[in-house]
């Protein structure tokens, strides 16, 4: 995929906006010598700013090497093994790393938020939480959205045994196909697959069942992270990556049409899907240390990690570079 050509095409759709209009500060100075940064790419809509990063980094004398991943979990593994320098992972991956005794995953900032509605097969009545009783609900155990859903049930005092969980392996497409085959009544999923299923006419959003506001998990959709090694040896490169990402993020925040188009180019999905999905997602992180602490506690209580590492996980979140760039 030629990200440079796609990014240039996307930008022609928007009015040119001065960098001075952004909360993000002016561009850092170029690196004195040619440098290389390896970036992991996960093809989901709330990471669409990634589309513009390479061109900006080129101006700063930084060459980008790409590694593409389907799941946050795969990106986390690559980061922990130093196969990539920076990538997006799930906020809960800090607790996973801490529980393994690793400090080689440093959270930098959140990327976006959205309401999370149960996606329900057309013709199935789920208008309230009571309606999930005995329904077959597709889930991806241990995923970020599953954590949001599971903790919401706990906070609402709804037994997990109320419904029939159907474990679905693989990416979001497997959920969409299971719904088409009538194997499930509803699904706990992520964008853009939620909107894809709705746009294709198979499902509707149960807007009375929003599970994005769990106190334990929150509404954050993802997290940019660097390896501990990159923070130690390539911190100036990581800083410039963050500047390029945040600059693009603020452009897309100001122009929803540009966001939808960039989303389409980045993920390869049709505009009919990304236009709807872009209405749901609010770019810009809502993550902080307190949320990481609470999430780590929830992961321990749910048996996702085998020991309590709330403080250790929170200590791995360092948004100081972002704060510096936004001064």
Same domain, 26 and 84: yes
Same structural domain, 193 and 248: no
pLDDT of residue 209: 96
Residue 182 domain flag:
yes
Count CB neighbours of 42 within 10 A: 20
Distance CA 223, CA 206 (A): 26
How high is the pLDDT of residue 19? 35
Domain edge (last residue) among 176, 210, 244: 210
**Cβ atoms of residues 118 and 126 within 8 Å:** yes
**Which pLDDT band, with edges at 50, 70 and 90, does 257 fall under?**
very high
* 24 within a domain of the structure (yes/no): yes
**What is the secondary structure of 128-156 as a DSSP string?**
SGGGGTT-EEEE-TTSHHHHHHHHHHHHT
User: In this structure, are 226 and 173 located in the same domain?
Assistant: no
Q: How many domains does the chain have?
A: 2
Is the domain of 240 the same as that of 195?
no
Tell me, what's the pLDDT at 324? 94
65, part of any domain: yes
In a domain, 150, yes or no: yes
Residue 126 lies in a domain: yes
- The confidence score (pLDDT) of residue 20 equals 35
79 in the same domain as 38: yes
CA dist., res. 71 & res. 143, Å (int): 10
Confidence check: pLDDT of 1 > 60: no
Give the tokens for residue 130.
């009571």
Residues 227, 98 share a domain: yes
Could you report the per-residue pLDDT of 142-201, keeping only the tens digit for each?
788 988 999 899 999 999 999 999 999 878 899 999 999 999 999 999 988 999 999 999
The pLDDT of residue 22 is 42
With CA atoms as reference, report the closest residue to 284 among 237, 219, 235: 219
Task: Based on the fold, state whether residues 174 and 231 are members of the same structural domain.
Answer: no
Q: How high is the pLDDT of residue 170?
A: 77
Q: How confident is the model at residue 52 (pLDDT cuts 50, 70, 90)?
A: very high
The answer to whether residue 252 is domain-embedded is: yes
Same domain, 84 and 225: yes
Of 210, 230, 252, which residue sits at a domain end? 210
Q: Which residue has the higher pLDDT, 301 or 232?
A: 232
Write down the pLDDT at residue 141: 86
CA-based torsion, 7, 9, 10, 15: positive or negative: positive
The answer to whether residue 4 scores a pLDDT higher than 70 is no
Is 177 a member of any domain?
yes
CA–CA gap between residue 209 and residue 202 (Å, rounded):
18
pLDDT tens, residue by residue, 261-292: 999 999 999 999 999 999 999 999 999 999 99
Q: What is the pLDDT of residues 194-243, one digit of tens each?
A: 999 999 999 999 999 999 988 888 999 999 999 999 999 999 999 999 99
pTM of the model: 0.85
pLDDT of residue 3: 56
- Residue bearing the bigger pLDDT, 184 or 71: 184
Q: Which of 210, 228, 256 is the last residue of a domain?
A: 210
Per-residue model confidence (pLDDT) at position 36: 98
- Give yes or no: residues 123 and 201 share one domain: yes
Taking residues 80-103, report their average pLDDT: 96
Q: Give the pLDDT of residue 147.
A: 87
Domain enclosing residue 141, as ranges: 116-210
Whether residue 215 is contained in a domain is answered as: no
What local confidence, expressed as pLDDT, does residue 314 receive? 98
Average of per-residue pLDDT across 249-253: 96
Q: Do 7 and 86 share a domain, yes or no?
A: yes
CATH number of the domain enclosing 235: 3.40.190.10
Angle formed by the axes of helices 256-267 and 235-254, to 10°?
Answer: 120
> 107 and 234 share a domain?
yes
What's the average model confidence in pLDDT over 80-104?
96
pLDDT more than 70, % of the chain: 93
- Owner of token pair 């995923």: 143
Residues 106 and 120 in one domain: no
Q: Which of 118, 191, 121 has its CA nearest to residue 153? A: 118
**Token code pair at residue 11:** 């930008």
Cis preceding linkage at 192, omega within 30: yes
Tell me the pLDDT of the chain averaged across its residues. 91
Instruction: Please say if the pLDDT value at position 316 is more than 80.
Output: yes
Q: How confident is the model at residue 250 (pLDDT cuts 50, 70, 90)?
A: very high
């Amino acid at each position: 995929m030629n990200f440079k050509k796609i990014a240039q095409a996307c930008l022609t759709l928007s009015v040119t906006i001065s960098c001075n209009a952004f909360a993000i500060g002016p561009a850092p100075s170029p690196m004195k010598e040619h440098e290389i940064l390896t970036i992991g790419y996960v093809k989901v809509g709330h990471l669409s700013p990634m589309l513009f990063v390479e061109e900006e980094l080129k101006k700063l004398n930084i060459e980008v090497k790409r590694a593409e991943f389907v799941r946050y979990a795969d990106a986390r593994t690559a980061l922990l093994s130093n196969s990539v320098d920076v990538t997006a992972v799930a906020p809960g991956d800090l607790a996973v790393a801490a529980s393994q005794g690793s400090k080689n995953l440093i959270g930098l900032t959140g990327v976006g938020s959205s309401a999370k509605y149960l996606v329900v097969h057309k013709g199935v009545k789920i208008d309230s939480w009571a309606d999930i009783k005995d329904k077959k609900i597709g889930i991806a155990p241990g995923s970020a959205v599953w954590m949001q859903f599971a903790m919401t049930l706990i906070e609402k005092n709804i037994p997990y045994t109320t419904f029939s969980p159907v474990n679905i392996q693989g990416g979001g497409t497997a959920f969409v196909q299971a719904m088409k085959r009538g194997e499930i009544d509803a699904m706990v999923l992520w964008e853009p697959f939620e909107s894809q299923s709705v746009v294709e006419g198979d499902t509707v959003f149960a807007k009375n069942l929003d599970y994005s506001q769990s106190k334990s998990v929150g509404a954050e959709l993802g997290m940019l992270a660097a390896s501990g090694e990159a923070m130690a040896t390539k911190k100036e490169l990581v800083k410039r990556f963050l500047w390029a990402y945040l600059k693009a993020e603020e452009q897309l925040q100001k122009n929803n049409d540009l966001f939808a188009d960039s989303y389409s180019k980045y993920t390869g999905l049709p505009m009919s899907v990304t236009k709807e999905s872009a209405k749901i997602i609010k770019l810009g992180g809502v993550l902080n240390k307190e949320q990481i602490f609470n999430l780590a506690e929830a992961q321990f209580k749910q048996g996702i990690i085998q020991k309590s590492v709330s403080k250790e996980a929170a200590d791995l979140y360092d948004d100081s570079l972002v704060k510096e760039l936004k001064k």
